[in-house]
Amino acid sequence: MIPDIGSAREVGSPVGRGPKRARWRQALYIALAVAFVYAGVSVAGGVSDAFDKMRHVSLWWFVPAIAAVGLRFVFLGAQLRYLRGAAHVPGIRLGITVALVAFGLGGLMPASPAEGFTLSSVALRQRGMTQRQAWLMLVSSQWAQFWALITVFALDRVAVAATGEIHRRHPWRIVMVSIALLAISAGASWVIRRPGSARRISTLGRWIPGQQRHQSELQRAEAATTLHAEIRLALGNRRNRLRVSVLSALCWVADALALWCMLAAVGARVSIEVAVIAYVVATVVAWAPFVPSGIGLAELAVPALLYRFHVPTVTGLAAVLLWRGVSLVLPAIAGAVAWLSLRAPTRPRTRSDEHASV
């Protein structure tokens, strides 16, 4: 859910109230996730078998996997640069750093990515961007990435069906579902460009618990129209939206490529199209609330899916665990380092600074 950007509380500490309680809650969530992984994979094939499989991996596959994850954050940094609206920051280099904090470090936090967004907004405020601008940029990034994922999944399903890897009696159904998904994605893009859409959607505010429920219809409409105009400003013109969409799709493909590399490292010979489907499943289950990046859920769902493509469960589990280390743990470590670098006070950036960095 998009946070109330206008009423966000200005804080000096990104953790807010009860930092000790938040740390204990985060530790509890991670412990529960680890226990869930252990229980699930014990039933599926055994932790010891998966770790034994990991001892015999081909280490050469880690090089392209890490490079693919690095490209993902380069694409994210470039995307944030095109979503800054009227603000002077971030440039591409600062955008990559912010992406590591928001989506790398934030990916291991309980309420991801909200906590990563908070950390990033603190750093961006020190560089001349308002908190509202920072949140709008990051939320617009999530919006673009969501619909890009739908598009990538729809096109990939057609590719997998064309190669015969999905055995269905009526392959045209796969094509029709993919066309429907593409139509929905195009419709969402059309809706976000229509000024009247915000007023129509604002009527749903009376059913949402919270402050908006007690506002008048006119107040909700005005707030929705203002937010809609700011999101349109962040997304920019048609050319800018196309850049953002392409970069979002490249982010997903790069991370899926890392998963495919880890599958190859453990000897699972599947096509990149199948790896993309498995990656989409892992991404969707990662949206489960209170479970950082879906830890435990992806480790159960992805091997089960890969089993349909003749990948042994233990092999699929070993590949997913390796991929988690490359795409989740390494970016979180890099994001922590990036956050430490961003905490240093700095003067607000000017337009000349921006051109120099880009």
* Number of neighbours of residue 353 by Cβ within 10 angstroms: 17
Looking at beta carbons, which pairs linking 28-36 to residues 24 or more positions away fall under 8 Å? 29/110, 29/290, 29/291, 29/292, 30/108, 30/292, 30/295, 32/291, 33/291, 33/292, 33/295, 33/296, 34/295, 34/296, 36/295, 36/296, 36/297
Contact at 8 Å (CB) between 99 and 268? no
Write down the H helix ranges in the chain. 19-44, 47-54, 62-81, 92-99, 114-125, 131-162, 171-193, 195-202, 217-235, 238-265, 272-285, 297-307, 313-324, 330-342, 351-357
Q: What is the pLDDT of residue 247?
A: 95
* pTM of full prediction above 0.85: no
Closest CA to 247 of 133, 151, 120, 128: 151
Q: What is the pLDDT of residue 188?
A: 77
d(C-alpha 271, C-alpha 163), whole Å: 10
Contact at 8 Å (CB) between 327 and 263? no
d(C-alpha 358, C-alpha 181), whole Å: 36
Q: What is the pLDDT of residue 174?
A: 74
Q: What is the pLDDT of residue 280?
A: 92
Query: pLDDT below 70 — which residues of the chain?
Result: 1-53, 111, 164-171, 195-225, 228, 344-358
